Amino acid sequence: MVISMKLHSSREEIEQVCKRIEHFGYKVHSIEGEERVVIGVVGRGDVTNCLESVEAMPQVESAVRISAPYKFVSREFRRAKTQIRLNGAEIGGDEFVVMAGPCSVESEEQIMNAAEAVARAGAKMLRGGAFKPRTSPYDFQGLEEEGLKLLAKARSATGLGIVTEVMSDSDVDLVAEYADVLQVGARNMQNFALLKALGPCQRPILLKRGLSSTVKELLMSAEYIVAHGNPNVILCERGIRTYETATRNTCDLTAVAVLDELTHLPVMVDPSHATGKRSLVPALSRAAVAIGCDGLIVEVHPCPEQAMSDGAQSLNPKQFTAMMKELEPYLRLWKDSRVTEAAAAV
Amino acid sequence: MVISMKLHSSREEIEQVCKRIEHFGYKVHSIEGEERVVIGVVGRGDVTNCLESVEAMPQVESAVRISAPYKFVSREFRRAKTQIRLNGAEIGGDEFVVMAGPCSVESEEQIMNAAEAVARAGAKMLRGGAFKPRTSPYDFQGLEEEGLKLLAKARSATGLGIVTEVMSDSDVDLVAEYADVLQVGARNMQNFALLKALGPCQRPILLKRGLSSTVKELLMSAEYIVAHGNPNVILCERGIRTYETATRNTCDLTAVAVLDELTHLPVMVDPSHATGKRSLVPALSRAAVAIGCDGLIVEVHPCPEQAMSDGAQSLNPKQFTAMMKELEPYLRLWKDSRVTEAAAAV
Amino acid sequence: MVISMKLHSSREEIEQVCKRIEHFGYKVHSIEGEERVVIGVVGRGDVTNCLESVEAMPQVESAVRISAPYKFVSREFRRAKTQIRLNGAEIGGDEFVVMAGPCSVESEEQIMNAAEAVARAGAKMLRGGAFKPRTSPYDFQGLEEEGLKLLAKARSATGLGIVTEVMSDSDVDLVAEYADVLQVGARNMQNFALLKALGPCQRPILLKRGLSSTVKELLMSAEYIVAHGNPNVILCERGIRTYETATRNTCDLTAVAVLDELTHLPVMVDPSHATGKRSLVPALSRAAVAIGCDGLIVEVHPCPEQAMSDGAQSLNPKQFTAMMKELEPYLRLWKDSRVTEAAAAV
Amino acid sequence: MVISMKLHSSREEIEQVCKRIEHFGYKVHSIEGEERVVIGVVGRGDVTNCLESVEAMPQVESAVRISAPYKFVSREFRRAKTQIRLNGAEIGGDEFVVMAGPCSVESEEQIMNAAEAVARAGAKMLRGGAFKPRTSPYDFQGLEEEGLKLLAKARSATGLGIVTEVMSDSDVDLVAEYADVLQVGARNMQNFALLKALGPCQRPILLKRGLSSTVKELLMSAEYIVAHGNPNVILCERGIRTYETATRNTCDLTAVAVLDELTHLPVMVDPSHATGKRSLVPALSRAAVAIGCDGLIVEVHPCPEQAMSDGAQSLNPKQFTAMMKELEPYLRLWKDSRVTEAAAAV
């Protein structure tokens, strides 16, 4: 922490601030500049409270945190990447994992067709929403448990793993019964009751970045899950909200590289929500592979024009198969670089 | 709905699109421009699905919704402002309602002191968090039920009503047992499981705008609660997230005037979260009164420097009392304009 | 400046960083935390270069500036508010200044009608664009010098002062010949060639905040003008760009209060560009007066439906007159608070 | 254009709106929905004025433009990609063009070293600022004409082409005398006086996207240059401003794919400004190649720690060489896809 005093603070005022900081268990080093006094704070203590308390003092100009607010998820805590076993593959290692499927589970026929198509094209996991977060109460809200059962059926038929969204702490047990990976949607990234309830859950979690969440906040939400007992968190960049309206969201693809520096957790990209437009999905997917993410989650629908949600951003099976084929040479380069890194790390 | 076809669409392609639209129960009017064909859509049908389905068709350039996506909360549905009885006052009418209190309930002494101070200064309702949404899992998470009990005690002692946050659908009943108004925090504005659970609840709801939510999305979230059975929703502008860092958030104060055109629901302003800085709270509060909101919710702590959260933006009792005094002439102008409006409406 | 070293930096690396900082004329205080070393930097030197140079060093985690990057425009440099004489009034003192008029000068009849109407309603200055920054090359670009001449004619007829935009350093002399105040538009806030050319100019400058500029950047742009010789700069909040689309821009009204803490320069608000919608202008104007800005600049057109630009946000003369009347009691409160402040300052 | 009337508009009001639209040379088709009337507008006329005029009418709810506001730069106007000859290469064709060099020209030694290093590593063009747009008036402002001369010297020595920024319409001739490509910086993207002055200029223009500019606005700014006579415009995505602070800007990499649909102009990416952090540049560059941009512009400094600007985001020659090597297999895939596309187009 570094505290900057207001100009012309008196000796007493500075001492008052130092005393309060020490009260939280820290040591202070006050530095007298020509214009103002800056107080360096070191040691271990209750950072957030200390920061807020000091910021509230009238003679304090600003109080800035230096150390990262997360711990278990940071690269400094754990150098080696976390690898999470997903249906036989290890995400975070040298296998690139593709999850694909429709936005919503709509019917047995639809999910079966989708599952077979994405399995054939090389996906490892089937996505599909049974509980749907919809902006309007009048939109299709999902088939709920019935949808979960259909997903399980599709797993039996195809061997794909299942990833599906959970929207409330009260549904965690139910969803975990059917799904292999539980997804936390962008709108629930800071649903802290839900995050806490995922701690005791035995399934890996796919945590999507909130529409207006910083990379640090995404890591803090992951830290919630890990601190409550579940170390298997996969992060997902799915676009953030900006003033640009040509795409549904603005994909912060650089965040993949930023996260690779800050955390050991695997990072996926969702090119479908990031763009909102089918024609842009293959190009963004190539870029996502090239920047080094660990996997993709892509919306695929047997017939996008008849989709009950997100039709405009869904690929049909033929388009998805073509995209997977087009990604192949990029995935070979991706694999080479993973193997090189792994060798260098030894 | 208005559908714009891609340039050089063939007659067949246009007909295909028209057919799909009609399939959703609408009538179409296709207009041939010199460059492209535009299709006007009228009637009643399943708007969202139709829109998404059509957007997904390859020859469609864009599909734009014209009518508002919400119904019960709109001014067109109900002209007269909704008035909600809060501890003897009617928010939404010609009484300006101030809610005040600490960010978190921390102890009996703290909440009692806070309650007495804000009651003395003229607040009608006591705010105070028992369940706290905190970015970090290591920060103080609230006293939970114990906190609710302390709030109830403060109500008995001071006669203030209680407004406090509920963070999960599984806590709605518990919180409703103690609180007069249930608050949905900014991070939960699109926690749809929670919104649905508030429908059957008998208490008024204070719904805060999400950090990156548009005014329309705020209204859609209110529509969720109303459509599920609870018409008593109070909206709250509390600042949105932008690139500006001089304040904690950017208060979109104009949204108060926008909402007054779009909805009959009462609208409050939270100048504490909107600024994040105590010294800016009185100025923004004056402006909020002048623009015509229905009430304020302000953070006040007996001793902000010792607050366990949000100290920097909390007023102490003396500052709050001074602000309430300073607001008086503005509140008189506010009241005059409400009385004038009411007379004009007769 | 405060430099935070990466974890596990060696003694040599820390010394290298310290040496480089000292090379820029500063003194260093290194503080050893339990986890990392933080270096406090004090003294006077070439801040920006030092900061950038140090940030570029591989073992540096982050480098943060503590002191404000502007000087002449800061409240710390000059306590008393700058007052600028505008057509007999003093903006920045205890007179509230209203500037009004059409977006563009379109014809003699139009500008004369506009001028008479706004003068009658109480405006002190006439706004009107002769050089127009238009997003499209196919839109009306302004009457240029012809427009300036019409503005001068309107001044002669009404006694109003003239404020008009200058878009290029090569036009500064020409515009200054006709105008009383030169406006720098939002899109030119960081047109540094223009800002420098305004230094030698004898006219006050109205500097509008850029669409995506922070308050600090606005002050830096003002600093450019002041540092190049012209102390008479008036700042203007006119809305920033966010994801919200219900209004043309998002008015950061709190910035008025923030600027009042940071600078002695007068601050105006432009409710027309901030909202983009005529019906919202009066409400936002009331709020702007209440928060304490020094003046308003409002778009008024004799016949908004026939305006060549910005018709949707222009008031007609009757609406403007009504708004000015409605503002009166708010302006009395404004004046009271200015007189009180002035008395307190003695 | 599509005009949506307010609910309950009278027949007279609708006719008034139709009349005004026809006055601008359009034909109208009014469509009566169950709730409101929507007016479709077709034909050719003065779109912007018509739109603004109609929006200003009191009974109009909204007026939306359907057709794109740009013409010459659109893919619909010209299918084949514009290819621009740059120092022997054709950007926009099947050659990937790398521009590299320091942020600022600082001295002969510096620019010569930089030029030789980037030429050796495979760059085609040397970047380097002689006129520098700096946020602070106290920062290094560039060597101006002296800098241009040094760039010319570096060209003679290495055979590289020169790209450098022009900040004012009054400097266009001077800069064009020395440079092969004139750069318009992000802060000047809507400096319309400058854009117009670039029309008669014989040099290609590198137009950077503004910090808060939409893709459409970028195209409108390009349209200015093309409409004023210069068809050789290269667009550049360099990151936009969002709330995220982990990177200097947020690279909207998807915009490359969006632009490829909307325009025939070549598109480059600037990974240095987009990230602000050297360590992120190689990863983002790989992604930029994979998504299909036409070239990169990268900051390279012989000794970033001594750079007078942008040191933290500059690569040193060794890092740049390594990155160019690492890009090779991605560039081979890039080239394959260009050749395939070209073949498909025949």
B237 near B211, Cβ under 8 Å? no
Residues C111 and C182 in one domain: yes
Take residue B49 and report the two structure tokens written for it. Answer: 């699905």
pLDDT more than 90, % of chain A:
71
Asked if the ipTM is above 0.95, the reply is no
Does the beta carbon of B342 lie under 8 angstroms from any beta carbon of chain D? Answer: no
Mutate which: B5, B60, B66, vs D, most D CBs within 10 A:
B66
Contacts of A4 by beta carbon, 8 Å cutoff, 6+ apart: A36, A38, A39, A60, A61, A62, A63, A64, C66
Q: Is C22 helix (H, G, I), strand (E, B) or coil?
A: helix
pLDDT reported for residue C292: 98
Angle between helices A254-262 and D281-291 (to 10 degrees): 150
Q: Do D305 and C20 touch (CB under 8 A)?
A: yes
The string of pLDDT tens digits covering residues C192-229 is 999 999 999 999 999 999 999 999 999 999 999 999 99
Closest CA to C48 of D305, A255, D136, D52: D136
Per the document, the length of chain C is: 346
Contacts of A218 by beta carbon, 8 Å cutoff, 6+ apart: A189, A207, A209, A210, A235, A259
Distance CA(A187)–CA(B189), nearest Å, equals 8
On the question of pLDDT at C49 being above 90, the answer is no
Task: Tell me if D189 is assigned to some domain.
Answer: yes
Residues B25 and B155 in one domain: no
On the question of pLDDT at C346 being above 70, the answer is no
Going A125 to A130 to A131 to A134, the CA torsion angle's sign is: positive
Q: DSSP letter at B184?
A: E
pLDDT reported for residue A7: 77
Distance CA(C13)–CA(C10), nearest Å, equals 5
Sheet holding B37-42, edge to edge: B27-32, B37-42, B2-5, B60-64
pLDDT reported for residue D43: 76
Take residue B154 and report the two structure tokens written for it. Answer: 């403060």
Where residue D34 falls among pLDDT bands split at 50, 70, 90?
low
C107 near C306, Cβ under 8 Å? no
pLDDT reported for residue D311: 85
Q: Which residues span the domain enclosing A204?
A: 84-345
Take residue D13 and report the two structure tokens written for it. Answer: 């009001």
Task: Tell me if B78 is assigned to some domain.
Answer: no
Task: Tell me if C211 is assigned to some domain.
Answer: yes
Q: Do A292 and D280 touch (CB under 8 A)?
A: no
Q: Is B165 helix (H, G, I), strand (E, B) or coil?
A: strand
Q: How many domains does chain D divide into?
A: 2
pLDDT reported for residue B290: 98
Region B169-174: mean pLDDT is 97
Task: Tell me if C21 is assigned to some domain.
Answer: yes
Residues D13 and D97 in one domain: no
Residues A176 and A52 in one domain: no
A281 near A298, Cβ under 8 Å? yes
Region B5-32: mean pLDDT is 85
Contacts of D336 by beta carbon, 8 Å cutoff, 6+ apart: none
Q: Hunting for tokens 């309830």 — which residue is that? A: A197
Task: Tell me if D73 is assigned to some domain.
Answer: no
Measured between CB atoms, which of A212, A254, A280 is closest to D274?
A254
Residue D331 class from Cβ within 10 Å (0-12 exposed, 13-18 middle, 19+ buried)?
middle
Q: Is B194 helix (H, G, I), strand (E, B) or coil?
A: helix
The string of pLDDT tens digits covering residues B79-106 is 999 999 998 889 999 999 999 999 999 9
The string of pLDDT tens digits covering residues B307-316 is 888 888 999 9
Does the beta carbon of C188 lie under 8 angstroms from any beta carbon of chain D? Answer: yes
Region C257-284: mean pLDDT is 97
Residues C140 and C190 in one domain: yes
Question: How distant is the alpha carbon of residue D203 from its chain centre?
Answer: 15
pLDDT reported for residue B346: 65
Query: How many alpha carbons lie under 13 Å from residue B288 in its C-beta half-sphere?
Result: 32
The string of pLDDT tens digits covering residues A7-40 is 778 889 899 899 888 888 888 888 877 677 888 8
- Which residue of chain C has the CA closest to B286? C290
Does the beta carbon of A287 lie under 8 angstroms from any beta carbon of chain D? Answer: yes
Mutate which: A38, A61, A212, vs C, most C CBs within 10 A:
A38
pLDDT reported for residue C307: 85
Task: Tell me if A69 is assigned to some domain.
Answer: no
Q: Considering the entire predicted model, what is its pTM? A: 0.93
Backbone angles phi, psi at A296, to 5 degrees: -125, 150
The string of pLDDT tens digits covering residues D159-216 is 999 999 999 999 999 999 999 999 999 999 999 999 999 999 999 999 999 999 999 9
Stronger pLDDT, D267 or C311, i.e. the higher one: D267
Residues A181 and A285 in one domain: yes
pLDDT more than 90, % of chain C:
71
Distance CA(A311)–CA(C128), nearest Å, equals 48
On the question of pLDDT at A133 being above 80, the answer is yes
Q: Do C167 and D309 touch (CB under 8 A)?
A: no
For C43-194, list the strands marked E by DSSP: 60-64, 84-86, 89-91, 97-101, 125-127, 161-165, 181-184
pLDDT reported for residue A23: 83
Where residue B289 falls among pLDDT bands split at 50, 70, 90?
very high
On the question of pLDDT at C34 being above 70, the answer is no
Task: Tell me if B304 is assigned to some domain.
Answer: yes
Where residue D330 falls among pLDDT bands split at 50, 70, 90?
very high
DSSP for C220-253?
A: HHHHHHHHTT---EEEEE--B--S--SSSSB-BT
DSSP for D270-325?
A: -HHHHH--GGGHHHHHHHHHHHT-SEEEEEB-SSGGG-SS-GGGPBPHHHHHHHHH
Distance CA(C133)–CA(D195), nearest Å, equals 11
Take residue D208 and report the two structure tokens written for it. Answer: 């950077």
Does the beta carbon of B340 lie under 8 angstroms from any beta carbon of chain C? Answer: no
Residues C240 and C305 in one domain: yes
Q: Do C49 and D169 touch (CB under 8 A)?
A: no
Angle between helices A254-262 and A215-227 (to 10 degrees): 50
CATH of the domain at A24: 3.30.70.1140
Residues A159 and A257 in one domain: yes
On the question of pLDDT at B64 being above 80, the answer is no
Distance CA(A240)–CA(A189), nearest Å, equals 13
Residues B95 and B198 in one domain: yes
Task: Tell me if D29 is assigned to some domain.
Answer: yes
Domain stops at, among B64, B94, B117: B64
pLDDT reported for residue C345: 72
Measured between CB atoms, which of D140, D141, D192 is closest to C134?
D192
Distance CA(B95)–CA(B334), nearest Å, equals 9
Does the beta carbon of D328 lie under 8 angstroms from any beta carbon of chain A? Answer: no
Q: Do B42 and D62 touch (CB under 8 A)?
A: no
CATH of the domain at C339: 3.20.20.70
Q: Do D34 and B43 touch (CB under 8 A)?
A: yes
Measured between CB atoms, which of D44, D64, D241 is closest to B34?
D44
Residue C65 is which amino acid?
R
Pairing of strands C37-42, C89-91: unpaired
D118 near D323, Cβ under 8 Å? no
Give D284's contacts in chain A (Cβ within 8 Å): 253-254, 257, 291
Q: DSSP letter at D328?
A: H
Take residue A77 and report the two structure tokens written for it. Answer: 């805590």
On the question of pLDDT at B34 being above 70, the answer is no
Q: Is D228 helix (H, G, I), strand (E, B) or coil?
A: coil
Q: Do D42 and B38 touch (CB under 8 A)?
A: yes
pLDDT more than 70, % of chain C:
99
Residues D168 and D227 in one domain: yes
Which chains have at least 3 CB atom pairs separated by less than 8 Å from chain B? A, C, D
On the question of pLDDT at D327 being above 90, the answer is yes
Closest CA to D216 of D271, D273, D249, D258: D258
**Paired residues of A86 in beta bridges:** A89
Distance CA(B319)–CA(B281), nearest Å, equals 10
Region C304-310: mean pLDDT is 85
Q: Do B137 and A227 touch (CB under 8 A)?
A: yes
Residue A344 class from Cβ within 10 Å (0-12 exposed, 13-18 middle, 19+ buried)?
exposed
Q: Do D170 and C170 touch (CB under 8 A)?
A: yes
On the question of pLDDT at A45 being above 90, the answer is no
Region A244-255: mean pLDDT is 96
Residues B236 and B148 in one domain: yes
Q: Do B167 and A69 touch (CB under 8 A)?
A: no
Residues C207 and C280 in one domain: yes
Q: Hunting for tokens 């994405």 — which residue is that? A: A118
Q: Do B167 and A192 touch (CB under 8 A)?
A: yes
Give C70's contacts in chain D (Cβ within 8 Å): 136
Contacts of D235 by beta carbon, 8 Å cutoff, 6+ apart: D207, D209, D218, D219, D222, D259, D263, D265, D266, D267, D268
Backbone angles phi, psi at C21, to 5 degrees: -65, -45
Distance CA(D65)–CA(B261), nearest Å, equals 23
Does the beta carbon of B216 lie under 8 angstroms from any beta carbon of chain D? Answer: no
On the question of pLDDT at B220 being above 70, the answer is yes
**Segment among A211-215, C170-174, D41-45 with least mean pLDDT:** D41-45
Measured between CB atoms, which of D242, D287, D288 is closest to A240?
D242
D101 near D115, Cβ under 8 Å? yes
Q: Do C258 and B250 touch (CB under 8 A)?
A: no
Give D287's contacts in chain A (Cβ within 8 Å): 253, 287-288, 290-291
Region B295-306: mean pLDDT is 95
**Segment among B258-262, B342-346, C314-318, D238-242 with least mean pLDDT:** B342-346
Contacts of C115 by beta carbon, 8 Å cutoff, 6+ apart: C101, C126, C154, C155, C157, C158, C160
**Segment among B9-23, B142-156, D20-34, D82-96 with least mean pLDDT:** D20-34
Does the beta carbon of B67 lie under 8 angstroms from any beta carbon of chain D? Answer: yes
pLDDT reported for residue C5: 86
C189 near C221, Cβ under 8 Å? yes
The Cα of C21 is separated from the nearest Cα of chain B by a number of Å equal to 27
CA distances from A176 to A88, A163, A171, A205, D272 (A): 18, 10, 8, 10, 43
pLDDT reported for residue D51: 83
Q: Do D42 and B62 touch (CB under 8 A)?
A: no
Which chains have at least 3 CB atom pairs separated by less than 8 Å from chain C? A, B, D
On the question of pLDDT at B114 being above 90, the answer is yes
Does the beta carbon of A35 lie under 8 angstroms from any beta carbon of chain C? Answer: yes
Contacts of A198 by beta carbon, 8 Å cutoff, 6+ apart: A166, A172, A182, A184, A205, A225, A228, A230
**Segment among A322-326, D123-127, D131-135 with least mean pLDDT:** D131-135
Question: How distant is the alpha carbon of residue A43 from its chain centre?
Answer: 31
C282 near B312, Cβ under 8 Å? no
Q: Do D40 and B43 touch (CB under 8 A)?
A: no
Where residue B326 falls among pLDDT bands split at 50, 70, 90?
very high
The Cα of B30 is separated from the nearest Cα of chain D by a number of Å equal to 9
B293 near B269, Cβ under 8 Å? yes
Q: Do C291 and B275 touch (CB under 8 A)?
A: no
Give A308's contacts in chain B (Cβ within 8 Å): 49, 52
On the question of pLDDT at D239 being above 70, the answer is yes
